[in-house]
Amino acid sequence: MSLTYKKNISAAAKKDILELEKRIEKFNQGEIAEDKFKLYRLTRGVYGQRQTGVQMIRIKLPYGKVTPQQLITIANVSDKYATGNLHLTTRQDIQLHFVKLADSPALWAELEESDVTLREACGNTVRNVTASPDAGVNPNEPFDVTPYAHALTHFFLRNPICQDMGRKMKIAFTADESDTAMTYFHDIGFIPKIENGTKGFKIVVGGGLGAVAMTAQTAHEFLPAEEIIPFSEALIRVFDRYGERANRNKARLKFLLKNIGLEKLMELINEERKSLKATATNFDLSLTEANIPEIKAIPETQIEDWNAFENWKRTNTFEQKQQGYYGIWIRVPLGDIDSSRARKLAALVQEFAGDDIRVTANQGLLIKYVRPDLLPFFYQSLTELNLAKPGFNSTHDVTSCPGSDTCNLAVTNSTGLATALENLLATDFKHLIDESNIKIKISGCMNACGQHMAANIGFHGSSIKHKGLVIPAMQVVIGGGVSPNGEGFMAEKVIKLPTKRIPTALSLLLNAFETNADWGEYFNDFYQRLGKRHFYHLLKPLAELETLDQAEYIDWGKEEKFIPEIGVGECASVMLDVIGTIIDEAQERLEWAEAGLKEAAHADAIYNSYSAFVIGAKALLLSEDVKCNTQIGILESFEEVFGTNARFTFAEGFKAYVLRIQQHEPSNEFAQEYFNQSTEFLRTVRNYRGEQLAAQGEDKVVISDFYKA
């Protein structure tokens, strides 16, 4: 593929795309093992689907922002390389499905012409930084968090400290204390505050969903805004060094925090401060400005049903903090919008609204800076696009991951169930179109891409064995979400039910709440007041399997009987390698360090030299069958195993020798010195391994779940 005709692509993006193309070619020729290629392509937004031979492409949209022109580009790319569908995600990304691997570099190149990236949308990296979609127009916000989310996003993009962590890192900024960004279940969450005229943030850390959900803890009640990136960098350095890598299920920040405690974590963060790439950061406050077109005439509008318009206006619009403008929420069922509608929506926004569309965490969209006299016109236009469904972010607005439609890990179908529940709500619970404090979310498995643990009523895919057959099922979870006063809750598992009985279960739960709740009682308070056992017994009759009919052996949206087909997770760690290949990885880090020295990127050069130390030490430890499940463990084990060997003797010990990275500011002098020392160490490692090979006769294959550190 030639990129010479691509005028608007940055040098860094061109390098990324050409490297992806080369690696795909090497992979197809058998020169790169599948697991190693998987780890590489994931950090470039290329994710394997359930279906063989095609990929899901995840487009990274920081804080959900997409301009009309970018939306048009994404729609065009979907038509050309995918299915013509754009899937909006709970991480404020857009995903394209059924893309051929060979097409991914060209797809990426066309996106980059509109300044849209795939880099670090997947994999063990800092994932898409999310934010309240109404940031900048929220009447209750202390200040617009957009410039801060933007700066943090771009600081960590391609940053060597977060390219190959044990697991992913998720970061969110909320607009105000109502926590619409759900910071409480993120690795790092930022809540804006102003103290004594100074902008800053309350910072929470160590939250997470999944099989073991945990609520984030407060690291700082207030930290000045210019210090949030240094704090985040130090935290990620600590996570990279101390985080678990052997057991993927324990490799998130929440488990490190649980193991060592908040006090120790903060102590380790402070130890990193001197070595940081970021000291203080300036933020581009121009990002708070909107580009609003001049509108000379209101298009002719004919509303046939004014009651329907008022219903939509009440549930899907709000007055911005900017006087004279409204925001319009767009409810997108299942988060799916076809390319034709996306282009028409983009054209509508270009002509009549602000050029800053936001993808929302409940898989919808936000249009900003709409004049109040244009609301009827927008309603008419959105109705024509089938995008004027009322009840945005209400009980009717069910969130769902793609489930078994495309995902390797999904146990059951999420989208068919979501549609069934929305139909039920529209028929039997019409009045809940105004209810914003009961959220329903569905995931196809326990991994919570549908955020079911953050739902008042949630479901995740599972299965039940009965008389030699397997029934598609859903685990019912209750009591999660954000309360009206901004308090975050994690749901509790209550009971597992056949998936075809979930609509009945939802009806029972909602009817019980409407019949027995106190006036004005929040759903989670109602759940806590009656207790888990009460709801278990309420739903238990639905778990009776002797009354199953044949339809219940078939999942939603399917025609054949259910057979659980769970693939290997795309984020799983490498399972086999040879020692020589690991040493080559260390050499690659040194090459990156050398490039950093040439570009005067001293902090990057230092961290890549550090990585070469760690990976080189890991190679020799694995040759001796020593576990390598954390980076700090590698440094300690290497000192223990090889410390008496004259070639690996360091006056202060190997661990202290490598961790001098903490004691120095990222100067040119130290970067060059540290690089030279890492280069010499790796040369010694190669020589030592060569002697081992001479004695053993062949390179050692590592087949292990503790390879990854």
CATH number of the domain encompassing residue 452: 3.30.413.10
- Would you tell me how many other CB atoms lie within 10 Å of the CB of residue 695? 6
Pair (216, 356) in one structural domain:
no
Pair (336, 417) in one structural domain:
no
Instruction: Say if CB 451 and CB 209 are below 8 A apart.
Output: yes
Measured CA angle at 589 (ends 585, 592), to 5 deg: 140
Stated pTM of the model: 0.93
Q: Which residue, of 112, 138, 167, is where some domain finishes? A: 112
Element (H, E) at 481: strand 481-482
Sequence length of the chain is 709
Whether residue 18 is contained in a domain is answered as yes
User: What pLDDT, on a 0 to 100 scale, did the predictor assign at position 211?
Assistant: 85
Helix axes 602-623, 631-642, angle to 10 degrees: 50
Q: Is 366 helix (H, G, I), strand (E, B) or coil?
A: strand
Instruction: Say if CB 50 and CB 33 are below 8 A apart.
Output: no
Pair (424, 460) in one structural domain:
yes
Measured CA angle at 358 (ends 354, 361), to 5 deg: 160
- The whole-angstrom distance between residue 472's C-alpha and the CA centroid of its chain comes to 27
User: What pLDDT, on a 0 to 100 scale, did the predictor assign at position 560?
Assistant: 83
If one compares 550 and 203, the residue with the highest pLDDT of the two is 203
Q: Tell me which residue has tokens 């069934």.
A: 420
| pLDDT tens digits for range 29-62 | 999 888 889 889 999 999 999 898 999 999 999 9
> Which residues pair with residue 193 across a beta bridge?
200
Pair (366, 418) in one structural domain:
no
| pLDDT tens digits for range 196-223 | 999 999 999 999 998 899 999 999 999 9
| pLDDT tens digits for range 597-621 | 999 999 999 999 999 999 999 999 9
d(CA 183, CA 446): 20
Q: Which residue, of 384, 408, 424, is where some domain finishes? A: 384
d(CA 413, CA 52): 18
Per-residue tokens: 186: 């993120």
Pair (144, 89) in one structural domain:
no
Pair (436, 303) in one structural domain:
no
Element (H, E) at 421: helix 415-428
CATH number of the domain encompassing residue 328: 3.90.480.20
> What sign for the dihedral angle of Cα 202, 207, 209, 213?
negative
d(CA 184, CA 203): 10
- For residue 404, give the DSSP letter: G
Per-residue tokens: 658: 């490598």
d(CA 650, CA 633): 17
- Would you tell me how many other CB atoms lie within 10 Å of the CB of residue 169? 25
SS3 sequence of 199-253? EEEEEEECCECCCCCECCEEEEEEEEHHHHHHHHHHHHHHHHHHCCCCCHHHCCH
Residue type, 129: V
Q: Is 472 helix (H, G, I), strand (E, B) or coil?
A: strand
Whether residue 389 is contained in a domain is answered as no
User: What pLDDT, on a 0 to 100 scale, did the predictor assign at position 572?
Assistant: 44
Pair (539, 416) in one structural domain:
yes
User: What pLDDT, on a 0 to 100 scale, did the predictor assign at position 704?
Assistant: 44
d(CA 203, CA 269): 14
Q: Is 449 helix (H, G, I), strand (E, B) or coil?
A: coil
Whether residue 642 is contained in a domain is answered as yes
Q: Which residue, of 80, 112, 144, is where some domain finishes? A: 112
Q: Which domain holds residue 439?
A: 399-553
**Any residues with CB less than 8 A from the CB of 34 and at least 6 apart, and which?**
27
Is pLDDT of 174 > 80? yes
Per-residue tokens: 147: 């410039």
Pair (376, 412) in one structural domain:
no
- Would you tell me how many other CB atoms lie within 10 Å of the CB of residue 345? 23
- Residue 692: pLDDT band (50, 70, 90) is confident
User: What pLDDT, on a 0 to 100 scale, did the predictor assign at position 2?
Assistant: 56
Q: Is 385 helix (H, G, I), strand (E, B) or coil?
A: coil
Whether residue 3 is contained in a domain is answered as no
DSSP for 431-447 reads GGGG--S--EEEESSTT
Whether residue 709 is contained in a domain is answered as no
How far from 135 is each of 153, 181, 361, CA to CA, in Å? 16, 10, 13
Whether residue 581 is contained in a domain is answered as yes
d(CA 217, CA 189): 10
Pair (512, 607) in one structural domain:
no
Is pLDDT of 3 > 80? no
Query: How many structural domains compose the chain?
Result: 5
Pair (694, 598) in one structural domain:
yes
Q: Which of 32-41, 474-483, 699-708 has the lowest mean pLDDT?
A: 699-708
d(CA 631, CA 621): 12
Whether residue 560 is contained in a domain is answered as no
Whether residue 380 is contained in a domain is answered as yes
| pLDDT tens digits for range 7-19 | 689 999 999 999 9
| pLDDT tens digits for range 624-680 | 888 888 999 999 999 999 999 999 989 899 999 999 999 999 999 999 999 999 999
